[in-house]
Amino acid sequence: MLALFLATVAAQTSLTITVWPQGRAADRHRYALRCDPVGGTLPKRGDACAVLERLGAAAFAPVPKDAVCTQQYGGPAEAVVAGRHRGRTIWVRFRRRDGCEIARWNKHAALLPR
């Protein structure tokens, strides 16, 4: 019984998502997301939980340091996702500064409404 409880606690996701669509100098939007069970204030939270489930433990991995990225600018939008994912504490920043970061943002689009 204790093992089942610990597995459930470790699988829980509870995040605060802050998005600045026009960059940090402009207005921000803040959302909450819980998975297992699905809840919070994020639009399409079921889709967001499905994305996190599909991406697994590596959902918030950074762009690799040795990645070759196209030099394109995706706009001033920025987001921070903080809280617990699969029982681990996270604090992750998303930007759209180059092709790799744009792709990373797009992969998490269900979490980052614009």
Query: Total domain count for the chain?
Result: 1
Does some domain include residue 112?
no
Does some domain include residue 86?
yes
Does some domain include residue 1?
no
pLDDT band at 11 (very low <50, low <70, confident <90, very high): low
User: Could you tell me the pTM of the whole model?
Assistant: 0.85
* Model pLDDT for residues 60-80, shown as the tens digit of each residue: 999 999 999 999 999 999 999
CA-wise closest residue to 35 among 101, 76, 83: 83
Does some domain include residue 63?
no
pLDDT band at 6 (very low <50, low <70, confident <90, very high): very low
Containing structural domain, residue 103: 9-58+68-107
Does some domain include residue 3?
no
* Model pLDDT for residues 12-56, shown as the tens digit of each residue: 899 999 999 998 888 999 999 999 899 999 999 999 999 999 998
pLDDT score, position 7: 42
Q: Which two tokens stand for residue 3?
A: 């093992």
Does some domain include residue 101?
yes
pLDDT band at 4 (very low <50, low <70, confident <90, very high): very low
Whether residue 5 is predicted with pLDDT greater than 70 in this model: the reply is: no
CATH number at residue 35: 3.30.350.10
* CA–CA separation, 77 and 97 (whole Å): 9
Does some domain include residue 2?
no
